[in-house]
């Protein structure tokens, strides 16, 4: 999905798939620390465990990046429905990210609603 959104948003926003920057087995804490040197990233993640692990929470907050977690259930809906729902709420994700405090996190429900965390 990230590569599709990259094409849709080219020239307006930069979208990068995690695997286009880091090896698939790189621990979350490590890539978060590396991205800390690059301010301004907004992360959209389907890995809700990051938001539950105290060490990963500390790493993401220390990096200062805004993060949107796709809540449980996203992986259980068909791919094109995922694309549709994420596209539907993407403008709101962009707006929330602009207003977010450094290190703030949000959750995106399968109904394309954004919840503060």
Tell me what pLDDT residue 91 has. 93
Yes or no: say if 81 and 62 are a contact pair by the CB < 8 Å rule. Answer: no
Quote the pTM value: 0.86
Tell me what pLDDT residue 34 has. 87
Give per-residue pLDDT as tens, 21-43.
Answer: 999 888 888 888 888 888 888 88
Task: Please state, rounded to an integer, the average pLDDT across all residues of the chain.
Answer: 87
- Mean pLDDT over 11-19 rounds to 86
Tell me what pLDDT residue 117 has. 62
CA angle 70, 74, 76 (to 5 degrees): 160
Yes or no: say if 13 and 94 are a contact pair by the CB < 8 Å rule. Answer: yes
Give per-residue pLDDT as tens, 93-104.
Answer: 999 999 999 889
Yes or no: say if 44 and 71 are a contact pair by the CB < 8 Å rule. Answer: no
Give per-residue pLDDT as tens, 38-60.
Answer: 888 888 888 777 767 787 778 87
- How many residues are listed for the chain in this entry? 117
């Amino acid at each position: 999905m990230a590569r599709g959104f990259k094409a849709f948003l080219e020239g307006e926003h930069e979208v990068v798939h995690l695997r286009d920057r880091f090896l698939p087995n790189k621990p979350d804490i490590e890539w978060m620390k590396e991205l800390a040197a690059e301010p301004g990233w907004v992360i959209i993640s389907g890995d809700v465990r990051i938001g539950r692990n105290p060490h990963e929470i500390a790493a993401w907050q220390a990096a200062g990046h805004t993060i949107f977690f796709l809540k449980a259930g996203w992986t259980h809906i068909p791919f094109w429905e995922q694309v549709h729902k994420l596209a539907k709420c993407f403008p709101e994700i962009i707006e929330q990210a602009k207003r977010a405090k450094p290190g703030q996190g949000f959750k995106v429900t399968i109904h394309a609603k954004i919840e503060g965390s």
